[in-house]
Amino acid sequence: MWWRSPSFILDKQQHLQHPDDNGDEDSSYSTLTMTGAAQNPNPNSNISAYYQTRAAHHGVVTSDWLAQAQAAVGAREEGSDDGGEVEVGQKKKKVFDVIDEFNNWRKQPDLAEAVAAIRALASVIRSIEASTMMELEVELKKASDCLKSWDRTSISLTAGCDLFMRYVTRTSALEYENFSSAKARLIERAEKFGEISHKARKIIAMLSQDFIFDGCTILVHGFSRVVLEVLKLAAANKKLFRVFCTEGRPDRTGLRVSNEMAKLDVPVRLILDSAVAYTMDEVDMVLVGADGVVESGGIINVIGTYQIALVAHSMNKPVYVAAESYKFARLYPLDQKDMVPALRPIDFGVPIPSKVEVETSARDYTPPQYLSLLFTDLGVLTPSVVSDELIQLYL
């Protein structure tokens, strides 16, 4: 199982409380880049931060840390009690924080979490006060690790950061240029990657239109913004279709999808999660999103996707997946338990006896044999091609 230790956060908190006295004061960014780890809103590593609050994340300032900071005023750079400034002598300078930048991008409702991370990393390159390529890449790697630690259960966040690092730093020409032009090249590549990722949904929506025909019935499960983009474009193209939405308990994501479809005047029916097999006879295709696409060509998505794919496969209904390429992850789960747990609190609306165990898993794994095609910004792919595309992405 892929399980990463949550001790990363504790180590970084200890580092802030007991900084080194080695005299290396050149980069104020490296001193405070990891403050985002202390802002992780996910103290319980078993509960996915995705299903918790999206409010601002505030670090904890201790009295010991304040005492050290006051003692160091005028002697060397040290973090102040402002959390976002560095005091050099009598002059205060605002320090770039990758988590703050990430949260600012996340405020845009249509921006995916992975794309927000990519945008934040692009800002890191512009803000780093480095003098060599090696120093710049080290600081960029620290910022990437900080973002990935924000929610260790998020597959798309981790994959997006890893792909960004590969794409931005993958060029041999940097070895032969001066530092200023090399940094400019990195910024250019970072901005390009951000634009490619941001446009991914529109590309997927266009590629998928040939598979939506007049009079078809589409079953969707979960609230996926890329799936919603596909359906919106089909409606804009005056295609006649109807949508079945699963209720999606406990988050009731189906209610959100049905509301969006009603706004577009698309015929929509809300069904119980347990009524999928009952209504499958009326369905022409299943269309779902994905939290992550793994090396086998299977997907990790909101829980319930696997059972829907099983029912559709048994009744010869195609299952289509709409997923951006930055969700392609170097993972190879063998079964449902072979994943980093992503749990969520569940409210049944009635008291549950303490002796009753409640399943709180937020996602499941659907093997590739139950999927028909994947609509991606790289093209329309069969599940067997995903491994080849992953090789190309990570080369």
Please state which of the ranges 66-70, 138-142, 257-261 shows the lowest mean pLDDT. Answer: 66-70
Residue 233 CA to residue 377 CA, distance in Å, equals 15
Average pLDDT, whole number, for the chain? Answer: 76
Residue 26 CA to residue 138 CA, distance in Å, equals 14
For residue 264, the tally of other CB atoms under 10 A from its CB is 14
Domains of the chain by start residue, with CATH? 98-199 (1.20.120.420), 212-346+358-394 (3.40.50.10470)
For the chain, percent of residues with pLDDT exceeding 90: 30
pLDDT value at 257 more than 70: yes
pLDDT value at 73 more than 50: no
Looking at mean pLDDT, say which of 4-13, 190-199, 322-331 comes out highest. Answer: 322-331
Which parts of the chain fold into alpha helices (H)?
7-17, 28-32, 35-38, 63-71, 98-106, 113-127, 133-150, 155-169, 179-198, 200-208, 225-236, 253-263, 276-279, 305-314, 386-394
Q: Which two tokens stand for residue 153?
A: 């259960």
Contact, 96 vs 69, CB < 8 A? Answer: no
pLDDT, mean of residues 51-61: 39
Residue 99 CA to residue 92 CA, distance in Å, equals 20
pLDDT value at 211 more than 70: yes
Contact, 330 vs 300, CB < 8 A? Answer: no
What is the per-residue pLDDT for 282?
A: 94
Count Cβ atoms within 10 A of the Cβ of residue 169 and give its class: 0-12 exposed, 13-18 middle, 19 or more buried: middle
Q: What DSSP string runs through 236-260? A: HTT--EEEEEE--TTTTHHHHHHHH
Contact, 228 vs 202, CB < 8 A? Answer: no
pLDDT band at 243 (very low <50, low <70, confident <90, very high): very high
State the number of CA atoms in the 13 A half-sphere of 68 facing the CB: 15
pLDDT band at 4 (very low <50, low <70, confident <90, very high): very low
pLDDT, mean of residues 88-110: 70
Q: Which two tokens stand for residue 307?
A: 């059972």
Contacting residues for 136 by C-beta, under 8 A, at least 6 apart: 125, 128, 130, 183, 186
pLDDT, mean of residues 145-170: 81
pLDDT band at 47 (very low <50, low <70, confident <90, very high): low
pLDDT 10s digits, 340-391: 777 777 777 788 888 888 887 888 999 999 999 999 988 899 998 888 887 7
What is residue 211's DSSP assignment?
Answer: G
Q: Which residue has the tokens 């580092």?
A: 15
Q: What DSSP string runs through 100-143? A: HHHHHHHTSTTS-HHHHHHHHHHHHHHH---SSHHHHHHHHHHH
CA distance to 17, 22, 71, 212, 291, per residue, from 64 (Å): 7, 20, 11, 62, 41
pTM beyond cutoff 0.75 = no
> Would strands 319-322 and 285-288 be described as parallel, antiparallel, or unpaired?
parallel
Q: Which two tokens stand for residue 216?
A: 């078809």
Cα 224 to its chain centre, rounded Å, is: 13
pLDDT 10s digits, 280-297: 999 999 999 998 899 889
What is residue 284's DSSP assignment?
Answer: S
Residue 193 CA to residue 301 CA, distance in Å, equals 24
More confident residue, 44 or 360: 360
